[in-house]
Structure 1
Amino acid sequence: MAAIDYRALAAKAREEADASTLDNVRKRCLRAEAAWLVLAGRHDTVENNRARREADRSML
Structure 2
Amino acid sequence: MANNATFYRDRAEFERQNATASTLENVRERCERAAASWDAMAVRAERVERDRMNARKESPSQV
Could you tell me the TM-score, scaled by structure 2's length? 0.85
State the match for 2:24 in structure 1.
22
Distance 2:52 2:60 in 1: 12
Deviations along 1:8-29, one digit per CA (max 9) or x if unpaired, are 0000000000000000000000
Distance 1:51 1:44 in 2: 11
How do residues 1-60 of structure 1 correspond to structure 2 at under 5 angstroms?
2-3=1-2, 4=4, 5-58=7-60
Could you tell me the TM-score, scaled by structure 1's length? 0.89
Unpaired stretches in structure 2, ≥5 consecutive residues: none
Extract structure 1 runs of 4+ deviating beyond 3 A.
none
Determine what percentage of the aligned residue pairs are the same residue. Answer: 41
Unpaired stretches in structure 1, ≥5 consecutive residues: none
Structure 1 residue 57: deviation in Å? 1.5
